[in-house]
Amino acid sequence: MKFTEYKPVIGVIMGDGAGIGSEIIAKSAAEGALTSQARPVIIGDYRQLKRGMEIAGANFPVEVKDTIEEAVKYAKEQEKVVIYDTKAFDGYQVPMGELSALCGKDEAENMARAAEYCKKGLIEGICFAPNNKSAMKMAGVHLNGMVDFLADLFEYTGVKGEININGSAFNARVTGHIPAKDVSAALSVDKIMDTIHMSCDVLKRFGIKDPKVAVAALNPHGGENGTCGTEEIEIIGPAVEMAKKEGISITGPLAADTLFGQLFGGKYDLAVTMSHDQGQIAFKLINFSQVVTVYGGIPYPVGTGAHGTAYDIVGRGEAENGAYITAYGIVTQMCKVAMMKRSREEKEK
């Protein structure tokens, strides 16, 4: 089958039941954005989807199935919206815009279901509407971040990390959810190299064969030759040189206040940043509604919009679905690239 014709089966998760998830899923389905790119299988309680449809004023035909196998079969044969109704969560029974352990439990269980269906070969990737980590913690879910949660679900113990995408620009970070005062001590040549390898692999899974990488400095003006910090000389620079020797197209360390202009200008494909906000601020300042997160290292394509559950506007029908549609397209693209790789490997046997 041709790359452009192939439509993978994508598990669609509605996210936190008190947030905007079901609303943006309903909008996306009504606009035809889900079925035009892939074969969507919504995994969750039909009542949650129905409430989202009512809020969004979104009307579209949806087939309701009692098992995941029936839902996947229908999606493959009909290429229409279908939901595997878990009958586990009544969206009408929770107040909108309020933290709830009930919501946290449901969203964690649906993510776990989707991961299991990937491992069983029923679906090929996952695109989820925003979860609420606080609600999940209220439900007793052990959670540092979504990438760690996903790694546990997939029993993956290798290098992993969140990667943000804005248009054609990618950003990966060496450290994540840690205090700013701890960033320097958390950096090492090995950790930077792991991030470079992991993020380049994601870009290759997206179809970019030879990613052009820019590595950010940690200190102002790139450390000013050691007079304003030495991490660039002792850690970041050596990692860049090591990556060059491996044949990676890489430049750095570059001052972060100039790097992103070049990244968004198309000079580079990927920025590797040292801390969470170093990249996040730049990405979210430019077209925030389109920023997407994918999870590097995870063995199956998983993505989501980079925004949260938006409790402040839930229930009004105002939530924008652009980031979700973009994330869905990226997950679909990664599934297609994986299919092509499998096809080549089978022909070479």
223-258 tens-digit pLDDT: 899 999 999 999 999 999 999 999 999 999 999 999
CATH code, 1-158+294-349? 3.40.718.10
What is the domain partition of the chain in residue ranges?
Answer: 1-158+294-349, 168-286
Mean pLDDT of 92-119: 96
pLDDT per residue as tens digits for the range 20-77: 999 999 999 999 999 999 999 999 999 999 999 999 999 999 999 999 999 999 999 9
C-alpha 304/C-alpha 80 separation (Å) is 21
Same CATH topology for 1-158+294-349 and 168-286: the answer is yes
The correct answer on CATH 3.40.718.10 for the domain covering 168-286 is yes
Mean pLDDT of 307-324: 94
Predicted confidence (pLDDT) at residue 212 exceeds the cutoff of 60? yes
Closest listed residue to residue 297, CA positions, set 178, 176, 172: 172
H-helix segments, 163-293: 183-186, 189-205, 231, 237-245, 256-264, 276-285
Mean pLDDT of the chain: 93
Mean pLDDT of 208-230: 94
Q: Would the pTM count as exceeding 0.85?
A: yes
Longest pairwise C-alpha distance within the chain: 65
Mean pLDDT of 313-340: 93
C-alpha 294/C-alpha 305 separation (Å) is 9
